[in-house]
Amino acid sequence: MNPMSQSALVPLRKKAKMVHISQSFCQHHIKFKEIVLFLVERKMGSSRRAFLMDLARKRGFQTEIELSDSVTHIVAENNSGPEVLKWLQSKNLGFTDKTHILDISWFTECMEAKHPVEIQNRHLLTVQQDCSANFNPPLSSSCVQVSQYACQRRTTLQDTNRIFTDAFDILAEYFEFSENKGRKVAFLRASSLIKSLPFPITAMKEVERLPWLGDQMKAIIEEILEEGKSYKVLELMSEERYKSFKQFTSVFGVGLKTSDKWYRMGFRTLEDIKNEKELKLTKMQKCGFLYYEDITSSVSWAEAETTDQLIKSIVWKFVPDAVVTLTGGFRRGKKNGHDVDIIITCPRKGKEKNILHNTISVLKNQGLLLFSDIIESTFVETKLPSKHVDALDHFQKAFLILKLPTQQTAIGDIIDPCGCEGRKWKAVRLDLVITPYEQYSYALLGWTGSRQFERDLRRYTTHERKMMLDNHGLYDKSKKVFLKASNEEEIFEHLGLDYLEPWERNA
């Protein structure tokens, strides 16, 4: 309630004296004395900032025009955490470890509710700050704030906490085999977050304020800190079902449904499967067993590069201006992977349509193709991006197994098509994806990964930007338009995100 008081009727010259008083003292009744807001003007503009500050005061909040020690909540719009930090640094403004640095979404929800709402992980901006005012990021600190979204965290291959992330990845896999999607996702998120930390975890206080770390995750971290290992993880790894599913899913063409079927039939090892003559296998699964040793061994960077050059030499012969790009983990800087992913497009509209079949024909004629499974495009231009974070795309693609020459062996010298001893080649998994040129940037972003990065990017797009994103495009629901992008940087810009290089997306 905010009735007009008699003091509002004093002469204008007396009201003018109030201009010099801090705006945290105002004519509006202060309902929430424990909260003092500061709105960052950067990207918000002075007019909008003044309007929002006035709205906040009408709702009973305190606001400050200038940042001071009394401020408890810093609110920014269309800014990332590092941008806010840099802005504060340029203005010589400081804050304490008790200051919340929040996205405008928290402020908006407070205004709609007419009272402070609980701060969720999605409201936090990514700011890794020192608790003092010198703005030097700590090597380790309990005051570190980390975004819940992997797309707002820079995650390189330098995982300084692998002892914890390996444990969480194993647990995620265990719950995937158990068809417990909720717990699987929970451990994947926790693992992804810890991979982004710039310091090694040495004490429990360092993870107290991190998102996605529930009691179970913290218990495992504490156990590893104390014992050097997690007995809970070791116990789950020794379970018969886990060990069987681990073997079954390692075969090319075998997923969870097939693994479950085999397990219920009484099979426990790959030898059990091989010895069962009556068991019907798909062509893909037969190849998976036939070239098992090759396919389950890692693909080196040199082998990925050789595969990339092979595909380029074939494609460029009949489409000289085609764009052929090595994606996946190798684009993120990995030195080894489980397969090779390549995206192909062409600036000339429609010229990409015959590339896949022509390339496969050449591979067959050269005797380099061991297996191929072609999936034709099912994309519809008017279709909106999928709402599901794990949704597959609708591009034309092929899943292949190639005969890749071993070192010092020329492609023309590859012989021994039956896979006999002494062969001069290695079976390598290859995925070829064909995309229209106008969708290439979105396809490149999607196929570069990592998987958790892509999940969080789509989740961020939906929840924070009210848009829809998949490998085909970005749709702005408020404007009801598809947003074009000629490169990945423009997609990040559409989403109001700091651009992350491919090697910073290893979430």
Catalytic residue numbers read 339, 341, 431
CA atoms within 13 A on the CB side of 14: 5
| Beta strand 369-375 pairing with 396-405 | antiparallel
For 9, list phi and psi in degrees, rounded to 5.
-100, 5
CB contact set of 320 (below 8 Å; sequence gap of 6+): none
- Report the alpha-carbon distance of residue 199 to residue 341 in Å, rounded: 32
- Would the annotation count 294 as a binding residue? no
Closest-CA residue to 404 (of 250, 288, 327, 300): 300
CB contact set of 427 (below 8 Å; sequence gap of 6+): 291, 294, 295, 370, 401, 402, 403, 404
What are the residues facing 403 on neighbouring strands? 427
483 three-class SS: strand
For 140, list phi and psi in degrees, rounded to 5.
-155, 135
- Report the alpha-carbon distance of residue 469 to residue 71 in Å, rounded: 36
- H or E element, residue 8: none
Closest-CA residue to 396 (of 372, 367, 368, 369): 372
Q: Is 184 left (phi over 0), alpha (psi -120 to 50) or beta?
A: alpha
Residue 341 corresponds to which amino acid?
D
Terminal Cα-to-Cα distance of the chain (whole angstroms): 49
**CA–CA distances in Å: residue 27 to residues 3, 6, 20, 23, 24:** 10, 12, 14, 9, 10
Chain centroid to CA 152:
9
Closest-CA residue to 112 (of 40, 59, 33, 48): 59
- Would the annotation count 341 as a binding residue? yes
Do 405 and 451 form a contact (C-beta atoms < 8 A)?
Answer: no
The two structure tokens encoding residue 374: 């072609």
- Report the alpha-carbon distance of residue 454 to residue 212 in Å, rounded: 17
- Report the alpha-carbon distance of residue 197 to residue 202 in Å, rounded: 12
- Would the annotation count 393 as a binding residue? no
The tokens 């090779």 sit on which residue? 340
- Report the alpha-carbon distance of residue 175 to residue 182 in Å, rounded: 8
Closest-CA residue to 403 (of 389, 392, 390, 414): 414
- Report the alpha-carbon distance of residue 355 to residue 398 in Å, rounded: 11
The tokens 């402070």 sit on which residue? 116
- Residues annotated within a binding site: 339, 341, 431
- Residues annotated within a binding site for Mg(2+): 339, 341, 431
